[in-house]
Amino acid sequence: MLELDIRGVSQDIIGGENGLNIPAEFENYKTRIADIISNLYKRKDTPGEGLQWMNLGYSQETSWYVKEYAALVENRFDNILVLGIGGSTLGGIAITHALLKPYWNLLSKEQRGGYPRIFFLDNVDPDDINGLLDILDLKKTLVNVITKSGDTTETMAQYMILKDRLEKELDDDYRKNIIVTTDKKTGILRQISEQEGYKTFVVPDDVGGRFSVFTAVGLLPFALVGINIDEITAGIRDLDAQLKNTNIYENIAAQNALIHYLLDTKYGKDITVLMPYSEKLKYVPDWFTQLWAESLGKNKTTEEKPIKAGPTPIGAIGAKDQHTLMQLFNEGPNNKVINFVRIGEFDTTLGIPQIFQYTGIGYLGGKTVNNLINAEADSTQATLIDYSRPTITIKIPKVDGYHIAQLLYMLEMQTAITGALYNINTFDQPSVEQTRNYTYGLMGRIGYEESAKALHDKLEYV
Ligand code: PA5
């Protein structure tokens, strides 16, 4: 199971100006936290609350459909190409990178156990898209278009390009190379899928994009490349059994939520750093960035009172970012909470050969890279403590489907509880919609002329 070590935020360790009196705070907040947790679980099945992501560990139906389809297309494709943006791709990128063998797309088919390569297009950079299209054999590529709303500009542009190319290469057969994950009823892509006869999968109601990784949004690409999705759902279920617990002393998501909330509101530590010591987990901070930023960055409370909520998320990767960010984290403004993610056991061991006797490097010989990365994490935390900086360690025994699912689910629950502490709507993103509307206007979508005009006025375009 996942573990949380919160000693590094204690005032006994980093002093009273920056650290918390944890026993006193837990005692002060235990009733509020219990109310928040029981309220979340009470409301989770209520339509419109945006809490269906709390049920995803139990959704046997999605797993069944996904596995059935993956079995049907096994050996048919050499490549999976996922199209999407934001919550439609960030979780998929994070988990496939973590669970597939390193350098997956460079391995032979045999080394990949017969499973396809996987690519994600999650932007609209022409050079990037053209570059990928230049190397992909589209006849052997299964394109999974993912968009909850079904009309996101970037994703629809990618889809239109791919549909056109596939049609040119495959004539009428191109439809077999496109699958769609979207809302079950609404959105242009749903309409198109029905007209075109694409195989479709559903993003369930009341699961926002950034909470959708354990729907078909993530599970389908995972199954297509041979990831065991039952391990993933089992991990969520087992952790959920613990996170239901309304007792703050036994609930790690609640503890981390309260700590971040208090360190921000009491001590101005309004930057949350997520720092895995693992290359496999290097895209988890990107996923977390969206989750934390879009969920908590709000300017009004649920009672419409003005607030400027939202700690700023920053990703860092150990050990390498010790050589980029750590000077700032140690000596710059003391406004950050650094969350380490530590791995109990790496998949492999790598020895450092004893080939030099120089004092400066000889000590490395005979040790392992595993020893080294762990020593780096310990040293970094010790230094942060020396500078009175708050640190937390999230420990996962190993990077497998069961535990990475727990890591992401814990962070989702932590986000929901933190949002409730700020008393904001964690599950909307009004300003993202505003940018979408300007883009629609600028690109000439009918009905968005006012948005285009407002944008031109603001930016003084001709
Ligand atoms: O969290 C969210 O809902 C958003 O950030 C979406 O993930 C993002 O905008 C992509 O939207 P869609 O899946 O509708 O294409």
Pocket of ligand 1 (CB under 6 A): 85-88, 147-149, 152, 155, 208-210, 294, 429, 432
Which residue's structure tokens are 């709507």?
A: 425
**Cα 248 to middle of ligand 1, angstroms:** 31
**pLDDT score of 461:** 55
**Do 118 and 79 touch, CB atoms closer than 8 A?**
yes
Helix 229-243 / helix 60-73 crossing angle, nearest 10 deg: 170
Pocket probe mutation, ligand 1, options 82, 88, 290, max atoms within 8 Å of Cβ: 88
**Cα 190 to middle of ligand 1, angstroms:** 16
Which residue's structure tokens are 């669970």?
A: 99
**Cα 348 to middle of ligand 1, angstroms:** 36
Q: Please give the Cα distance from 101 to 118 (Å, whole number).
A: 12
Helix 229-243 / helix 252-267 crossing angle, nearest 10 deg: 70
**Cα 86 to middle of ligand 1, angstroms:** 5
Instruction: Name the closest-CA residue to atom 15, ligand 1.
Output: 147
Query: Which atom of ligand 1 has the smallest separation from the CA of 217?
Result: 13
In the chain (462 residues long), the average pLDDT of successive 10-residue segments reads 97 97 98 98 97 95 97 97 98 98 98 98 98 97 97 96 97 96 96 98 97 98 98 98 98 98 98 98 98 97 95 97 96 98 98 95 97 97 98 98 98 98 94 86 89 83 52
Nearest CA to 415 among 289, 251, 260, 292?
A: 292
Instruction: Name the closest-CA residue to atom 4, ligand 1.
Output: 209
Q: Please give the Cα distance from 12 to 7 (Å, whole number).
A: 9
**Cα 211 to middle of ligand 1, angstroms:** 10
Q: Please give the Cα distance from 247 to 255 (Å, whole number).
A: 10
Nearest CA to 20 among 258, 334, 328, 314?
A: 258
Instruction: Name the closest-CA residue to atom 9, ligand 1.
Output: 86
**Cα 6 to middle of ligand 1, angstroms:** 32
Residue type, 306: P
Q: Please give the Cα distance from 418 to 408 (Å, whole number).
A: 15
Query: Which atom of ligand 1 has the smallest separation from the CA of 90?
Result: 7
Instruction: Name the closest-CA residue to atom 8, ligand 1.
Output: 86
Strand pairing category for 141-147 and 178-183: parallel
Q: Please give the Cα distance from 37 to 246 (Å, whole number).
A: 6
Query: Which atom of ligand 1 has the smallest separation from the CA of 210?
Result: 1
Q: Running DSSP on this structure, what letter comes out for residue 49?
A: S
Long-range contacts of 185-189 (CB under 8 A, 24+ apart): 186/149, 186/150, 187/147, 187/148, 187/149, 187/150, 187/151, 188/150, 188/151, 188/156, 189/145, 189/147, 189/150, 189/151, 189/156, 189/159
